[in-house]
Amino acid sequence: MASVVIVTDSTADIPLKIRQQLNISMVPLKVNFGEESFLDNIELQPVEFYEKLVSFGRPATTSQPSPADFFEVFKKLTDEGHSVISVQLSSSLSGTYQSATIAQSMLDEGADVTVIDSRSASYGYGKIVVEAAMMAQAGASKDEIIAKVHKMRSEIRLYFLVDTLEYLQKGGRIGKASAVLGSLLNIKPILSVDNEGFVFSFDKVRGQKRAMARIAEVLEADVKDEPVSLTIGVTPGYTDGAAEMAELLKSRLNVRDYQETEIGPVIGTHVGQGTLGLFIFPLGK
C-alpha cells in the first residue's frame, strides 16, 4: 500500500520543525514589497517581515503559487509512489486552491492526488494538516485521513483579534473614514471565517481587554465544558497578549491541549502587527 504524504501551503503557519518531523511538504505563497518578492516562510520569516511591514510605508501585497509550483511537488511525490492529500488556504480568500487543482489535472492518470479546500486560514487549517500528517505517519489510510480532515474542518472555532484597523483599510476591507474613526475610538475588530471560508467581522469592541473578554464569553457559551485543543497564533513581539488571552481562556474553557504558533507573512500582510489568532478544536468527551 502506498504511503500517504500531506502537502499544504505556507499560510497554514506550521512551524518548520513540525513540518520536518511530520514530513509535510509546503508550497509557499509570495509576499511583495514593491518590486521585491519573497517566498513566504522561506526567504522571509515572520520577525523580519513585520519589521519590514512597519518600515515600508506602503501596503505589501501577496500572490499565490502557480499551478507549476504545485505540479512540481505533486509529480515528485507521486513518481516516488506516494498518495498525496493537499490541503489549501480557503478558496474564498485566495486562488491557491485553484492552482493546486489545476496542477492535479496536469498529472498522469495514475497519480493519486486529492486536493481539499480548507475553508480556513492560518493555523485554523494548519492544525488540521498536522493531525492529517500524524495519522499518515501512524499508517492510517487515505480515506481515513480525508474523513478526519473534513470532520475537523466542520468543527473549528476561529477568531482573529486585530489590534489596528490600518491593514484592513489598506487591503480595502474597510473605508479610510471608518478606519480613522475606529482608531480614535480604540475599536478592536474581531474577525472570523464562515462555513464557506469567507472572512467576516464577528464583532467590534472598544479596547483590547473587552475584546478578549468578548471572545471568551462567546466560546464559553459555545463549547461549554467540552474538552478542547487551543492554539493561539501570535505576531512576533506580542507574546504578552497571547499569554493574557491564554490565561483567560484556560480559566473559562476546558483546555486539554495548548500551543502557540506565529502568524506568518502572508496572513500578516492583511491583519498587521499585534494580531492574535485563536483556533479551537473540540476533542470529544
Q: How far, in Å, are 30, 39, 45, 85 from residue 145 at the CA level?
A: 29, 29, 30, 9
What's the whole-number average pLDDT of the chain? 88
Predicted local confidence at residue 11, as pLDDT: 95
CATH architecture of the domain formed by 157-282: 2-Layer Sandwich (3.30)
- Cβ atoms within 10 Å, residue 79: 11
Q: State the pLDDT confidence band at 179, using cuts at 50, 70 and 90.
A: very low
Per-domain boundaries in the chain: 4-29+64-154, 157-282
Distance CA 103, CA 208 (A): 43
Let me know: does 64 contact 83? Beta carbons within 8 Å.
Answer: no
Q: In what order do the strands lie in the sheet with 30-33?
A: 36-39, 30-33, 61-63
pLDDT of 75 over the 90 cut: yes
Q: How confident is the model at residue 102 (pLDDT cuts 50, 70, 90)?
A: very high
Grid coordinates given for 197: 471560508
Confidence check: pLDDT of 173 > 70: no
Q: Are strands 30-33 and 61-63 parallel, antiparallel or unpaired?
A: antiparallel
Write the pLDDT tens digit of every residue in 144-164. Answer: 999 999 999 999 999 988 876
The predicted pLDDT at position 163 comes to: 74
Q: 29-56, pLDDT tens digit by residue?
A: 999 998 899 999 999 899 899 889 888 8
Give the integer Cα–Cα distance in Å for 196 and 87. 15
Confidence at residue 33, expressed as pLDDT on a 0 to 100 scale: 92
Of the CA atoms within 13 Å of residue 15, those in its CB half-sphere come to 10
| 137-146 per-position pLDDT tens digit | 999 999 999 9
**Does the domain formed by 4-29+64-154 have CATH 3.40.50.10170?**
yes
